[in-house]
A and B are shown apart, each in its own frame.
Chain A
Amino acid sequence: MKHILTIIRKEWSEVFKNRWVIATMTLVPLLFTAMPLITLATTGTGSTGGAEMSGLPGDLSASCPGMTAGECIQVYVLNQFMLLFMIMPLMIPTTIAAYSIVGEKTTRSLEPLLATPITTVELLAGKGLAAVIPGILISYGAFGIFVLGSSLLGLSPAVMGYILSPTWLLGILALGPILSVISAIFAIYISSRVSDPRVAEQLSGMVVMPLLMVMFAVMAGKLVLNISFMLITIVVCAIAAIGMLYLGTLIFDRENILTKWK
């Protein structure tokens, strides 16, 4: 555990001295938090929305029973934007993890590090957690700001209830961290296989693709996010994360990384 903590501290000491990384890790979550708030503010508060329910498409009005048309539109808008809070825990770890191994290769610090008694599991756990923890904290923080902002906007209890529904709380508070783990393992794996940090960042960014597909399916009305969907996704992703962790330690080959990267 001591070695893991040392690696986490080392990673953070390096990462948080890079202003560009801090900017990326701050601005994107701020943007993702501001976008839904601005959209909600411009669509009007729920209870005073002027549209009639009868004016809305059937599918949409069916998805928000007991709400006014304005509230229903806000729920529709929220459906698109809430997924951003699940993209954040995927994106932020890649910023750190994509550089974690290839960065050490390019600065030639990997060999002295691997020459210490640190085990592969400790090294991967340290590097993984150093990427996952900020991803989770920033996502939680951004969601907290969003909830606070929404209440300040004076959203109706029905819309606030939707934001704080079990579906989204599960998605953001439980699925988010699992996605962070998947994202970090994927980025570390890429980072250990490539020889250029830019390639590592580009390839690691692909981890958001499945979630973007979910987002488009929701926007197209092909997928409804409900508690069953969230629970199934959590189970599937947790199994995937455990499998990736196990595979990650098996395929992290010190010898190949040291001798075959040039």
Chain B
Amino acid sequence: MIKTTNLTKIFKIGKKGQDELIAVDALSLEVYRGEVFGFLGPNGAGKTTTVRMLTGLIRPTSGSAQVAGFELGKDDTQIRRNVGFLTESPGMYERLTAEKNLSIFAELYDVPDVEAAVNKYLSMLGLWERRHDSVGSFSKGMRQKLAVARALIHEPQILFLDEPTSGLDPEAAKTVRGFIEELKSEGRTIFMTTHNLDEAEKLCDRVGIFQGKLLSLDSPAKLRESLFGRKVVFHLKEMKDSFVEQIGTIPDLGKVEVVDNKMIISVKNPEESNPLIIKKLVEAGAEVQFVGEIRHSLEQVYLEMVNNSQRGQA
């Protein structure tokens, strides 16, 4: 649904535009139909610039992209017609009612039955009762819901969500996340930028970690695995040196660390290794109390990647 090849954006900066800022450097990625793709990166990484390019709002300096089957730079109006864009700031017409705000955008997107579309999304997002109120009186969460409705009013198959839960209270953020899950279940393709790694982990099929250039791209689980490997912790009632020697005979085990009564073992395939380890430990007289896998959070993966990138740049 979205495919970019060496997509690059360079801004001219300085008073006379004599300096250059490479906001997006040769981005190549593919987002598949029905996928929720998380685009993660620190502030100023170029995430919004990327989304603006992919929605036909700004021109790439070089490279190419296809969005919803249309060529970026040639069919920008068609791209805008076929995608929905939730901007970082809701940007509503504050003096106008919720209903009027939505109907304006429904008309601009050439929705055939404006009234039905407006009513549908006002009801779906719980704004029906407030449809005649001016948006200026809405809470931040309500504005964000309305902005989501605006991005969906023309039923696009691709949605770009720029920080969809940024600045929302936990309750409102939960509502928006729930709605994104609903959209995912409807089979829509979602390209989402976020700082919220917990949110990305819950919602995204794949994530791209980005800082000017794409640092990595995979599912959260595979990124964790590629960076930290898999580690299993065995809690024993009592620790003896002989236990470590005993499991040392098992092939394909990684590093073994001992911390108090715990053995932390790096393994390639815990499903195969764990029964063998337990068997050897029991044979050596160990009493195994608990076994668990150490899971690195996406946050740890993200920080490791971004820090490595920053060290590389320095």
Contact = CB atoms under 8 A, between A and B. Distances in A.
A258 B80 contact: no
Interface stretch (B93-101, B171-179, B250-258): B93-101
Contacts of A198: none
B57 interface: yes
B80 A115 contact: yes
A111 B57 contact: yes
Interface stretch (B106-114, B120-128, B202-210): B106-114
Interface in A241-262: 254-255, 258-259
Contacts of A14: 93, 95-96
B94 A258 contact: no
A116 B79 CA distance: 9
Interface in B185-235: none
B58 to A, nearest CB: 4
Interface stretch (B38-46, B83-91, B290-298, B304-312): B83-91
A111 B87 contact: yes
A6 B108 contact: yes
Contacts of B85: 111-112, 115
B116 interface: no
Contacts of A10: 93, 96, 104
B264 to A, nearest CB: 49
Interface string B40-82: 0000000000001001111100000000000000000110110
B77 A119 contact: yes
Contacts of A118: 108
Contacts of B288: none
Contact of B93 (A109, A111, A254): A109
B147 interface: yes
Interface in A64-121: 107-119
B257 to A, nearest CB: 50
A255 B59 contact: yes
A12 to B, nearest CB: 11
A114 B91 contact: no
B105 interface: yes
**Max chain A C-beta neighbours (<10 A), residue from B56, B93, B109:** B93
A17 B100 CA distance: 13
A116 B95 CA distance: 21
A232 B67 CA distance: 52
Nearest to B87: A111
A10 B57 CA distance: 21
A42 interface: no
Given A2-B107, A14-B96, A116-B109, A255 B58 contact: yes
A116 B58 contact: no
B57 A108 contact: no
Nearest to A103: B93
A54 interface: no
A228 interface: no
Contacts of A2: 107, 110
Contacts of A112: 85, 87, 91, 105, 147, 150-151
A254 B57 CA distance: 7
B63 to A, nearest CB: 16
B94 A117 contact: no
A108 B48 CA distance: 14
18 contacts: A2-B107, A3-B108, A6-B107, A6-B108, A14-B93, A107-B94, A108-B89, A108-B90, A111-B85, A111-B89, A111-B91, A112-B150, A115-B57, A116-B105, A117-B78, A117-B80, A117-B81, A117-B108
Given A2-B107, A109-B93, 5 more contacts: A14-B96, A111-B87, A112-B105, A117-B109, A258-B52
